[in-house]
Amino acid sequence: MIFKLAIFAIVCYVLYRLFMNDRKKQDEKKAAERERKIQSDEMVKDPVCGTYVDKSSAISVRSGDQVLYFCSYECRQKYIESVQEQKKLD
C-alpha cells in the first residue's frame, strides 16, 4: 500500500514538473516575442497610459507631421482633451 502511494506521488510530481516546465517555456516564448516586437518597432507606446500596443491594431491620430498610437479610444480621447486644454491656456 505504501509502495503504491509512493509510486502515485512520484507520478504526480513528474506530471506536475512536465506541465509547469511547459508553461514556463510558453511564458518565456511570449516574453521573447513581445520583446522582439518592441525591438523591431512593431509595437508602439501609448503616450497617455504607457502601454505598448501592436502598431497594426493601435488607434492612430495624426498630430501635425507626427502619428500617435493609442491602446484604446478612451486614451485617445484623454489625449485630445489634454491638447484642447493646452490650446485654451496658450
Q: What is the pLDDT of residues 20-78, one digit of tens each?
A: 777 888 888 888 887 777 677 678 889 999 888 888 788 888 878 889 999 999 999 99
How many domains are there within the chain?
A: 2
The residue segments making up the domain with residue 31 are 1-40
Contacts by 75-82, CB closer than 8 A, 24 or more apart: 75/46, 75/48, 75/49, 75/51, 76/48, 78/48, 79/47, 79/48
Q: Do 22 and 45 lie in a common domain?
A: no
Which of 24, 40, 56 terminates a domain? The answer is: 40
Same domain, 51 and 15: no
Q: Give yes or no: residues 5 and 28 share one domain.
A: yes
> Do 25 and 62 belong to one domain?
no
26-34: long-range contacts at Cβ-Cβ below 8 A with a sequence spacing of 24 or more? none
The pTM of this model reads 0.53
> How long a stretch of residues is the chain?
90
* One domain, residues 13 and 31: yes
